[in-house]
A and B are shown apart, each in its own frame.
Chain A
Amino acid sequence: LAKTTQPISMDSYEGQEVNITCSHNNIATNDYITWYQQFPSQGPRFIIQGYKTKVTNEVASLFIPADRKSSTLSLPRVSLSDTAVYYCLVGAPEAGTALIFGKGTTLSVSS
């Protein structure tokens, strides 16, 4: 499984766009990139997943360059409720593959 590196923490203000970059230099050909969000004392919640280029859903966008060695989670116009830990995971959606969570990025949004 490819190891991921992401910033330990980030600070932002309400209404700003937040971009969290994750580095995964050893990503394999069949690996997907997945982001999860976790609030204190709750289980992680799936945000978005992609393989290449750009993926967008109702809560976030995921940008993946052509070499796929990094990815950027973009949260548009964050609010206080977006304060959470964000995890970047890399792995293949195969049977029995374990999700390996790193330390994640703690995003703090202030008013």
Chain B
Amino acid sequence: KAGVTQTPRYLIKTRGQQVTLSCSPISGHRSVSWYQQTPGQGLQFLFEYFSETQRNKGNFPGRFSGRQFSNSRSEMNVSTLELGDSALYLCASSYGPINEQFFGPGTRLTVL
């Protein structure tokens, strides 16, 4: 069974631009969560989607948004990029218990 895939793997943007990251969960998984990882703040929860509905949201500004499609694939968008948005963005999917999540390799976003 294929794992969680994320595209692109690497991305370089400049301040003020916007970016869209994509995540394809493991087949059959309906829950998709997004996390931001930085050296200073560690792994922080962004939001979680299940059946196209956002069920939970972390403490991030409204510039961070996401959505989930009917095939469970998810996208995350960050508008008006700031230097501090440079991070590894991780997507995780799960089938059942929310504690047991399968993570993708991440998208490394660099904002210049």
A residues lining the B interface (CB < 8 Å): 32, 34, 41-46, 49, 87, 89, 91, 93-104
Contact = CB atoms under 8 A, between A and B. Distances in A.
Contacts of A45: 103
Given A98-B56, A101-B43, A43 B92 contact: yes
Given A96-B55, A98-B45, A104-B42, A46 B33 contact: no
A32 B48 CA distance: 19
A43 B50 contact: no
Interface residues of B, number: 28
Contacts of A102: 42
Contact of B99 (A34, A96, A104): A34
Interface in B22-74: 33, 35, 42-45, 48, 50, 55-56, 58
What DSSP secondary structure best describes chain B's contact surface? strand
Contacts of B33: 98-99
A43 B99 contact: no
B43 A96 contact: no
A102 B43 CA distance: 8
A97 to B, nearest CB: 5
Contacts of B97: 32, 49, 93
A103 B58 CA distance: 17
Given A89-B99, A96-B98, A41 B88 contact: yes
